[in-house]
Amino acid sequence: HYRANALRAWEKKLRLSDVERCYEIGRVIGDGNFAVVRECRRRDDGQACAVKVVERSKLVGREHMMQNELSLLGSLCHPRIVRLLAHHHTPAHSYLVMELVSGGDLFEAISERGKFSEAEAGLMVSDVSDALNYIHCRSIVHRDLKPENLLVSIRLGDFGLAMVVTEPVFTICGTPTYVAPEILRETGYGVAVDVWAQGVILYILLCGFAPFRSRDRNQEELFKLIKQAQLLFPSPYWDCITEEAKSLVRSLLQPDPAVRLTAEQTLQHKWVKAMALTCRQRALADKTQRNAADASAEPQRAQRPAQTNADKTRERLFCLVRLRVSLRWTAILSRVSPSPPLAQRLLEIDTGSPEKEKGKWMDCWMNPQKMFFTLLG
């Protein structure tokens, strides 16, 4: 109670200007029901970050969501989970500064691609399972696993609904398409609901649409289909998908959580390991090929800029010569009429001199007398 009061007193002292003094806040890169995510840069060292800006008026009655996210993210350290770097609070907003992960979220990637190869899907399942196994071993359930909360790299984020589970939970929450049947039955649930959601994501990755969907977008009908859990692999969308992949989908979308695979079992699944290895090997081969191509092209790229820069330098100097000569010419004409040879030389410079002449102008342009006699030459 004392710490909560101290935090509130500190929050009243912090203003938006204090936050902006520490961070340069940029464009929006994501949004949700309670917050927007923006690019930002720390002013002291220039490090690029992401800042989740939460409008606190929208969290009235849901303050525990913010507390959960701060306490859980602050305690987690895993390469597949977005790191919380700092957090700041004003009376109107909370600012959660996190590592910036490029590439967008998985939802955007699915929208653009439609579906993924088995190798790509297997690697994503491996990475997500790695993150889920880490939090499940700490009795943490995410409860809102979906493509929008997975960054393409893959990173697991948005722990607003996450909680530590020591006994069955009965609260209904989550996103309808990814919610597990035991949540809807209100029989109590645990970390296995995350594995169900992962099964839904894998199904979407392989064919481009969800396993349970209402034609009329009716939520009651959708929930009925999820509780029935009658899994189908319609043709032609699943005709080219291997039986091993379908078998894993069935194991993840088991309606009985006691029979459903765990995150650790999914991580060790034969198909997942084989597909992840294949995808990593392809990525390594592509990278090696690109590096070889870059290395072979490097000498040519190194020479071209050097030549170009030298040409530009000569052109700049010659322009200065022309400018200085023009000024000197003006001074000369104000006193004498130029002889035909002098006029011809000045005309050459004003209209562009042959390459072999440029060096001569550059050598003498700073000396007016030398320039004059060179022109008379």
Q: Do 82 and 129 lie in a common domain? A: no
Catalytic residue among 127, 144, 158, 194: 144
Q: Are residues 136 and 242 in the same domain?
A: yes
Name the domain boundary from 67, 99, 131: 99
d(Cα 21, Cα 350) in Å, to the nearest integer? 53
Tell me if 158 sits within 8 A of 149, measured CB to CB: yes
* Least reliable range by pLDDT among 157-171, 273-287, 301-315, 353-367: 353-367
For the chain, what is the domain count?
A: 3
Banded pLDDT at 224 (limits 50, 70, 90): very high
pLDDT tens-place string over residues 332-342: 444 444 445 55
For residue 13, is pLDDT > 60? no
245 shares its domain with 373: no
Is residue 197 very low, low, confident or very high in pLDDT (cuts 50, 70, 90)? Answer: very high
348 and 233 assigned to the same domain: no
- Let me know if residue 294 belongs to a domain: no
| 218 and 77 co-located in one domain | no
Flag whether pLDDT at 290 surpasses 80: no
Residue at token pair 């992962």: 198
Within a domain: 307: no
Q: Indicate whether 278 belongs to any domain.
A: yes
Q: Select the more confidently predicted residue: 166 or 333.
A: 166
* Residues 198 and 274 placed together within one structural domain of the fold: yes
Q: What is the mean pLDDT of residues 274-281?
A: 91
Q: How confident is the model at residue 154 (pLDDT cuts 50, 70, 90)?
A: confident
Burial label for 285, CB within 10 Å (0-12, 13-18, 19+), is exposed
Closest CA to 375 of 323, 340, 351: 340
CATH number, domain of 116, equals 1.10.510.10
Q: Which domain holds residue 144?
A: 106-284
Asked whether residue 70 falls in the same domain as residue 176, the answer is no
pLDDT of residue 4: 43
Of 325-334, 350-359, 365-374, least confident by mean pLDDT is 325-334
Task: Verify whether residue 294 is a known catalytic residue.
Answer: no
Do 112 and 255 share a domain, yes or no?
A: yes
Domain boundary among 233, 267, 284: 284
Q: Which of 284, 306, 332 is the last residue of a domain?
A: 284
Q: Return all residues near 161 (Cβ < 8 A) that are at least 6 apart.
A: 65, 68, 142, 143, 144, 173, 174
Decide if 303 is inside a domain.
no
Q: Residue 155: its pLDDT value, please?
A: 83
Let me know if residue 95 belongs to a domain: yes
**φ/ψ bin of 234: left (φ > 0), alpha (ψ from -120 to 50), beta (otherwise):** beta
Mean pLDDT, range 323-336, rounded to an integer:
45
Which of 26-30, 199-203, 269-273 is predicted least confidently?
26-30
Position 305 in a domain: no
For 329-357, b/e burial (b = at least 16 CB within 10 A) is beebeeeeeeeeebeebbeebeeebeeee
* Residue 65 clears pLDDT 90, i.e. is over it: no
Higher pLDDT, 157 or 343: 157
Residue 309: inside a domain: no
* 52 is annotated as contributing to ligand binding: yes
Find the mean pLDDT for residues 266-284: 92
Residue 184 forms part of a structural domain: yes
Token pair listed for 285: 């081969």
Tell me the pLDDT band of 1, cut-offs 50, 70 and 90: very low
Q: Which pLDDT score is estimated for 73?
A: 87
Residues 44, 191, single domain; the answer is no
pTM of the model: 0.71
Considering the domain architecture, whether residues 215 and 151 belong to the same structural domain is answered as yes
Are 262 and 339 contained in the same domain? Answer: no
CATH number for position 39 = 3.30.200.20
210-237 mean pLDDT? 93
| Burial class (CB within 10 angstroms; exposed 0-12, middle 13-18, buried 19+) of 300 | exposed
- Based on the domain organization, do 165 and 192 belong to the same domain? yes
**Phi and psi torsions of 353, nearest 5°:** -95, 155
Rounded to whole angstroms, the Cα distance separating 263 from 135 reads 10
CA distance 248 to 203: 10
Question: Whole-angstrom Cα distance, residue 226 to residue 23?
Answer: 45
Mean pLDDT, residues 150-163: 82
Cα 84 from Cα 73, distance rounded (Å): 6
Q: How confident is the model at residue 338, as a pLDDT? A: 47
CB within 8 A of 16, min separation 6: which ones? 90, 92, 93
Average pLDDT over residues 307-331: 51
The mean pLDDT of 38-59, rounded to a whole number, is: 90
